[in-house]
Structures are given as C-alpha cells and as structure tokens.
Structure 1
Amino acid sequence: MNNKLQSFQDSQHAFCDWIRDPKQPIPQSFETERMRVYRELLFNNVSSFIDLVYPVARSILPKETWQCLLDEFFQKSINQSPFYNEISLQFREYLSEQQHPVLQDYPWLAELLQYEWLELYLDTLEISEKQCVQAPVWQFKTQVWVLVYQYPVYRWAINQTDLEQDPSAIMVWRNQNDQVCVEALSPLFAFLIEKLHQQPLSEFELCELISATLPDLSSHEILLQVNTLSNLLTQLELIDMPKNSITED
C-alpha cells in the first residue's frame, strides 16, 4: 500500500511539474495530447483573471514582456486561492517579492498594478456605514483611502503613451451608488484627510494641524483652507458638517 501511495504521489508531482513547465518531459503514464489541453485550459484560466484586472498595464507593456510575466508566474508562484481577485493580487505580490527586473525596466509598473488592483478591491469590498459621533467634529460617512503616486497612474487609459512622472496624491472611495471614485488632492488636503480618516476632528483641531504644518499662513488663510476642504468633502457627500461650524460663518 505504501509503495502504491508513493507511486501515486510521484505521479502527482510529475503531473504538476509538467503543468507548470511544459519544457519538461511528459510523464509516461499520461497521454501527451490530454496533458497539453489540460495545461492550456489552466494557463488560459489563470491568465484571463490577471488580464481582466490589469488591462492598462497589459496594454502598455510589450506583448512579449507581459506574456513572459504570465508564464513565469504560472510556473514559479505558489497560489493559495482559486478566486480571481486573489490570483491577481498574488501576481502583483509575486513581482514585488521577487524584486522582478521588470519593475526596474518600467518604474511606473508597480504603482499602476497597485492602482488597478485597488479598483477591483474597492469594487468587491464589503463596506459598512460608519457610526456617527454625536459631537461637533468632522467625520467621514464611509471609508476613504489616501494614496500618493510618483506617476499619475489613476489617469492612465489603455494604450497610454505619456508615461511621464507627475507626483500627486489622490483620495479613493466607493460612493452610495457603489461606484469607485477618485479625487486629486493637494498635499495639504491629503495630509488633513489622512488625519480625518484616522479619527474625527473638530474644526479647531484642523486649524491647529494646518498652522503646525504651514506656520506662515495667516488665520484668514487657514480658515480659507478649512472652508475649501469643507466644501469639497460636502460636495462629494463624504461628510456631514457639524452644526455651528466655523465655515458656516
């Protein structure tokens, strides 16, 4: 029985090794044509999951480069989940963990893969409404993410040709209609929104933060920044302004 079990396990390993790398000899106990068909189905299935999540990256990279990345990922990675969104994440993490040379050849690629995967993540994430705090503070009604990029990957489309650097910050969230939304931010607003995301803050605390960050601003200029941020977040339906707000005066 042990010999039979060992023989079966050896066959399994040989089968999986060939599925990953068809350059190896096909195990004698398997039919060549069936093996090829089975591998093609598996490879195409995994590749389609990745292609679906990263259409912009796929369109910008040379076809040969993208195909090599898919081949290498299929051959060398150890996938822990059959779900397409997790396979696409594992593809991105594989390149990052391996410090893959392609990330050096195309310095914008890591950010583009991260942003394209984030769109899928937000589209499938279960987001619960936040409990409102009964106090005169600013508080987000839903979860938001502040991201900083060296390349404006959030603006890129399929077959993008302008790949120049343009450092910027954005806020990403999913609105009440389950649409993924993106808003470009100034460095100051990115900093304040990140603080607000961590905990609700009063307008006085926001003013103090601005004063500490930009000490050369006058009181009037600080209030102007707070008012502008208030208008932006209210217009985007991300916060409900507290009553007796400074910005209402």
Structure 2
Amino acid sequence: MAEAWTDFRARQLAFSAHLRDPRRNEVADIEDRRLKIYRELFYNNVENCLAAAFPVLRKLSSDAVWHERVRDFYARHRCKAPQFHRLPEEFLRFLEEVRTEHPDDPPFLRELAHYEWVELALSVSPLELSPELADPNGDPLAQPPVISPLAWTLAYRYPVHRIGPDFQPSTPGAEPTWLIVNRDRTDTVRFMQINAVTARLMTLIEARPEASGRDLLLDIAAELAHPDPEAVVAEGAQIFERLRARDILLGTRRPAAG
C-alpha cells in the first residue's frame, strides 16, 4: 500500500508540474490530447481571473506579452493564499518579488497592478461602515476625526489613475501622485486625487487617533512653517468636509462608554 501511495503521489506531482509548465515537464505515458484539455482548463481559469482583476494592464498588453506574463506566474509562483479570489494578490506579489524587471514590462507595471488590485481588495473586503465606528455629526476640528477603514491613502511615482491606451508614461512624475481609494456606503469603490498636505493629514489622523483635527492641522502648519496657521486650519476644515462627503471621513471619535 505504501508503495502504491508513493507512486500515486509521484504521478500527481508530475501531472501538476506538467500543467504549470508543460514545456519543461513532459508526461510521456498520457495521451497529449487528454493532457491538453486539462492544460487549457486550468490555465484559462487563472488567466480569466487575472484579466478581470487587471483590466487596464490587460488592455495595454499585447496577447503575446500578456499570456507570457501570466504563464510565467503560473509556472514559477507558489501561492500562499488558497482562496481563488486572492489570486490577483498573488499575481501582484509575483510581479513585485519574483518577476522583477523584464523587457516586456512597462516601467509603471507594478504600480498600475497595485492600483488595480487595491480596487479589488476594497470591493471584497468584509469590513462594513457600521454606525458605531464614529459620530457622523461630530466636529472634526474640535474632536478626533475618524477615517473609514475602507479608505487607503496611497503614493505612486506614476499617475496610475490616468494610465491607459492613450497615456503610458515612460518616466516617473516630478512629484508623487497621492490618491485616496475608498469604498463608500453604497459599496462603490472610488478614487480621489489629493495633495501632499491632505496625505499628511490622513497619516496624522491614523497615527494620533486621540488628537483633534485642529491640533493636527496646527502641527502641519508648524511643519510647513506657515506664516498664518489659522489659514491652514480653515483650509483643513474644507478638506474634512470633502472627505466626509465621500465617506472617507466617517465623523468623529465617540466618547468611551462610562
């Protein structure tokens, strides 16, 4: 029985190796017509999933380049997450850690793939914007503002939100591209381009959850050596309202139960 199991296990490994990389792993004792059915079935499932998750990247890639890239992932990457819906995350990890630089890949490839993955990750996140997270009527200047757990502040070297068939930059921008990507209360994933000051405010809100919005804005004014700190506070009040309108700012921290 042990020998039979060992032989079966060896055949399983040989079969799976062939499916992942048939050019380097032949299976001599099975008719190729039968193997082709499995090769196409397994590969097409993976390729269809990735094409749906990275539509812009797919559109920018020729068929030959796209399939070579996916087959490279399929052959060489060892997924850590077993769930099929996390396959795009594994593809991103492959691009960042395994494939590295490749002559067929545009310079913005990894950043664009990350941006497209973020939209998917937020859309399938189990988190909900429940009422107990924040007081929606609170004053974010006077009280600690609360950012949605479904809002991610991101910085890219390339303007990834603009990349498409008619715009494919070959060099990074002069300044970082700051974006907030979030899922709102209607479960719609949206992006908002922001400046460095808003990005800094988002970082401080996360880092100092007990501080009022006014205190955070005054800290930013000090960092900027701004001659009129109250002007920064006034501009910050408008930023808070724009963030609140997009469900990025949920309100203010509720007082702890006594």
| Partner-residue secondary structure (3-state), 1:240 | strand
Query: TM-score if structure 1 supplies the norm length?
Result: 0.85
Moved more, 18-27 or 6-15: 18-27
Evaluate the alpha carbon distance shift between residue 219 and residue 72 of structure 1 in structure 2; reply closer, same or farther with a 3 A threshold: closer
Q: Which residue of 2 aligns with 1:4?
A: 4
User: What is the one-letter code of the residue matched to 1:183?
Assistant: M
Deviation at 1:17, TM superposition (A): 1.8
Instruction: Classify 1:220/1:65 alpha carbon distance in 2 versus 1 (closer, same or farther; 3 Å).
Output: same
Q: CA deviation at 1:156?
A: 3.0
**3-state SS of 2:145 partner:** coil
Aligned residues with identical type, % of pairs: 24
Residues 212 and 229 of structure 1, relative CA distance in 2, 3 Å threshold: same
Between the aligned partners of 2:187 and 2:103, the Cα distance in structure 1 is 32
Moved over 6 A (4+): none
In structure 2, runs of 5+ residues without a counterpart are 254-258
Aligned to 1:52: 52
* CA displacement, residues 10-32 of structure 1 (integer Å, 9 cap, x when unaligned): 21122122112222464344232
**Which residue of structure 2 lines up, in the alignment, with residue 195 of structure 1?**
204
- The aligned counterpart of 1:207 is 217
| Structure 1 residue 217: Cα displacement | 3.0
**What is the aligned partner in structure 2 of residue 169 from structure 1?**
178
1:152 aligns with 2:159: yes
- Separation in 2, partners of 1:62, 1:221: 51
Residue 212 and residue 180 in structure 1: after superposition, are their counterparts in 2 closer, same or farther (change >3 A)? Answer: same
Distance (Å, rounded) in 1 between the aligned partners of 2:237 and 2:220: 12
Contact 2:147 2:205 in 1 (8 A): no
SS in 1 for 2:146: coil
Aligned CA distance change for structure 1 residues 81 and 240 (closer, same or farther; 3 Å): closer
Deviations 1:24-80 (A, max 9, x none): 464344232111111110011111111110110111133322211111111111234
SS across alignment from 2:192: strand
RMSD, matched Cα = 2.5
TM-aligned CA deviation for residue 94 of structure 1: 1.1
Please state if 1:127 is matched with 2:136. no
Indicate whether 1:230 and 2:240 are aligned: yes
Give the TM-score of the pair, scaled to structure 2: 0.82
Q: Is the contact made by 2:134 and 2:251 (CA closer than 8 Å) also made in structure 1?
A: no
Q: 1:208 to 1:223 in 2, by over 3 A?
A: closer
Give 2:88's aligned amino acid: S
Structure of higher RCO (CA pairs closer than 8 Å, 6+ residues apart)? 2
How far, CA to CA, are the matches of 2:6 and 2:55 in structure 1? 43
Contact 1:172 1:182 (C-alpha < 8 Å) held by counterparts? yes
Report the residue type matching 2:143 in the other structure.
Answer: V
| Contact 2:88–2:117 under 8 Å retained in 1 | yes
Where do 5+ consecutive residues of structure 1 fail to align?
Answer: 243-249
- Residue 220 of structure 2 is aligned to residue 218 of structure 1: no
